[in-house]
Amino acid sequence: MTATVTAPMIRREIGNDGICVLTFDRPDSGANIFDAPTMRNLSDHLDTIEKDPSLRGVIVTSAKKSIFIAGADLKTLLKQAQTGELRAFIAEGQKVFNRLAALQVPTVAAIHGACAGGGYEITLACDYRVASNDPATKIGLPETTLGLVPAWGGATRLPRLLGADIAAEVILKGKLYGAEQALKLGLVDEVIAREQLLEAARKKLDGGKRKISAPKSGMTVVPPTTGGNAAPGRAYEIIRRSGDSSIDESLAMEVDAISELGATDATQNLIRNFFLAEKYRKGSSKIAPEKVAHAAVIGAGIMGSGIAQWLSSRGVSVILRDIDSEAIDRGLANIEKTYADAVKRGLLSVDKAQEGRARIVASTQPGMMRAVQIVIEAASEKLEIKKKIFLDLAAETPPKAILATNTSALPIDDLATTTGVPERVIGLHFFNPVSRMKLIEVVVGRQTSDETRDRAVAFRAADRKTAGGGARFSGFPG
Ligand code: NAD
């Protein structure tokens, strides 16, 4: 191996007052993220800090304009999840953060800017957290929205700091909080103007090492029911057991959970979707947002009727097709029931429900679908049936219509090649019951065009179906 000399990711400065300031400042980048070199760099600094008896305290901070540390390097993380190397990377991070937590001297994180996922977990390994009151400061643990758990100590240290209920609220929802809200929840100890941040951090060190009391047992938050995404359930389990597990046991549960989740298609798709949504959000896509007004759904079974109902409730007119008129009747009854339930639960007015229901036209007859912008196929899970449907769809739909399949297991490419227009074919995988499940996985085939992919992602985001919220935050969880 050749050693390459690179600029450090983290600067270490020790003042006359004996306080060591570690400043994250990734070279040639507007953001700090945790990748293997950054973790190694932190580990090297800790080697020196641990051996220096003259030190009085350590401050962890960032030199970036609007980012503290945005979290783990998700690109590498996805690759590691695919190759099975994730466990080692996570375990190494835990080791380094444990060393920070075990320092004899008090430690404080001075947070300005986005502090998400692994970026917040390093602050949890410090004794104190002070944050700037700047709007750029956003703090949280969004891992579960990507099918992961906070595994650099987040799911272990947060319940010990704030109790299981608050930890569950923060980790299962995966939201990012502004400074004031973070203060209210206890995620930070103090909020102050940016110019006074380091000063306030220095003062905090006077408080000495902080004693974390044993975690309070008992939890009122109920286990999450989040169909396609197993991560909130895994995180919940770790938090629930915080009362009767040691820190080491809890950290081991984190590593197990993240490596097992990382190996699943659901998690890998959520991470891929996050990249697509980010790309779309940043406007690098050349596709202007498109309002979908006309759609078709093929198959009026459990999923097809659910998808038709969901689309129609959002103002989209829907052609619902099945080959079996009894299936159509059952599908329509299902749709009526979902609308009636929504009215009963006060989510929709009677008028809105009627308007929605009226947007669905059901039919057993094939025919041209002139104005349709997207077709979602949800017919029986048989390759030969679906191949024939996609062949017909290529002829029946306008040249730009997206041809999406809701298949759970069949290869998109097999369906795509039949059509002669594979660039328009994509997977949009809904979950049952569609009216309640927020998740849609976007499954890109080998020949799916970037345009189809971007339009499908935009369609999903515009209709508030998200990859578990992945489109809504700008950090990289760790
Ligand atoms: P379902 O059996 O309830 O419905 C399938 C419908 O397709 C039936 O009404 C059938 O008459 C109709 N159909 C068959 N051939 C057709 C054709 N040529 N043209 C039009 N309609 C036709 O099945 P489902 O559970 O709704 O699943 C549909 C698809 O969604 C499958 O690909 C499945 O893998 C996928 N999926 C299911 C779930 C779930 O939880 N059920 C979740 C995600 C995805």
Indicate whether 340 pLDDT > 60. yes
Q: How many Å apart are CA 445 and CA 425, to the nearest integer?
A: 7
Which ranges in 144-178 belong to alpha helices (H)?
154-162, 164-173
Please tell me the predicted confidence (pLDDT) of residue 275. 83
Cβ neighbours around 385 below 10 Å, total: 15
Residue 51 burial (10 A CB sphere; 0-12, 13-18, 19+)? exposed
Percent of the chain with pLDDT over 70: 91
334 lines ligand 1 (CB under 6 A): no
Strands 19-24 and 10-14: antiparallel
Residue-wise pLDDT tens digits, 147-168: 999 999 999 999 999 999 999 9
Closest Cα to atom 11 of ligand 1: 324
Q: Give 34's DSSP letter.
A: B
Ligand 1 atom closest to the CA of 432, numbered from 1: 40
Residue nearest to atom 29 of ligand 1 (CA): 378
Confidence of residue 207 (pLDDT cuts 50, 70, 90): very high
pLDDT above 90: residue 4: no
- pLDDT confidence band for 442 (50 / 70 / 90): confident
pLDDT band at 476; cut points 50, 70, 90: very low
* Mean pLDDT over each residue of the chain, to the nearest integer: 90
Among the residue ranges 26-35, 38-47, 68-77, 264-273, the one predicted with the least confidence is: 264-273
Q: How far is the CA of 365 from the centre of ligand 1 (A)?
A: 17
- Closest-CA residue to 107 (of 45, 169, 25): 45
Pairing relationship of beta strands 360-363 and 374-377 according to DSSP bridges: unpaired
In this prediction, residue 35 carries a pLDDT of 93
Phi, psi of 307 (to 5 degrees): -65, -40
**Residue 452, C-beta contacts closer than 8 angstroms, at least 6 positions apart:** 402, 423, 424, 425, 426
Q: Is the CB of 440 under 6 A from ligand 1?
A: no
Mutate to test the pocket of ligand 1, among 334, 380, 388 (most ligand atoms within 8 A of CB): 380
CA-nearest residue for atom 25, ligand 1, is 302
Domains of the chain: 3-263 (3.90.226.10), 275-462 (3.40.50.720)
Per the DSSP assignment, residues forming a β-bridge with 374 are 295, 402
Torsion of CA 35, 41, 44, 46, to 10 degrees: -80
pTM value is 0.64
For residue 76, what are its two tokens?
């590498």
pLDDT in tens, 311-320: 999 999 999 9
Catalytic residue among 45, 112, 294, 429: 429
Q: How far is the CA of 407 from the centre of ligand 1 (A)?
A: 8
353 three-state secondary structure: helix
User: Which residue is closest in CA terms to ligand 1's atom 32?
Assistant: 407
The strand pairing partners of 403, in sequence order, are 375, 425
Q: Can 429 be counted among the known catalytic residues?
A: yes
The pLDDT of residue 437 is 79
Residue 87 structure tokens: 């466990």
> Ligand 1 centroid to 325 CA: how many Å?
14
CB of residue 406 inside a 6 A radius of ligand 1: yes
For residue 461, the model assigns a pLDDT of 67
At residue 281, the pLDDT reads 65
Quote the ligand 1 centre to 328 CA distance (angstroms): 12
Q: Of 355, 331, 329, nearest to 342 (Cα)?
A: 355
> Which position has the token pair 């989209």?
316
Nearest protein Cα to ligand 1, atom 43: 431
Region 270-288 average pLDDT: 70
Closest CA to 34 of 1, 60, 2, 3: 60
In this structure, what token pair is assigned to residue 464? 């508030």
Tell me phi and psi for residue 448, to 5 degrees.
-60, 130
Mean per-residue pLDDT for 456-468?
62
C-beta 389 within 6 A of ligand 1 = yes
Peptide bond just before 433 cis, omega within 30 deg? yes
Average pLDDT over residues 420-432: 93
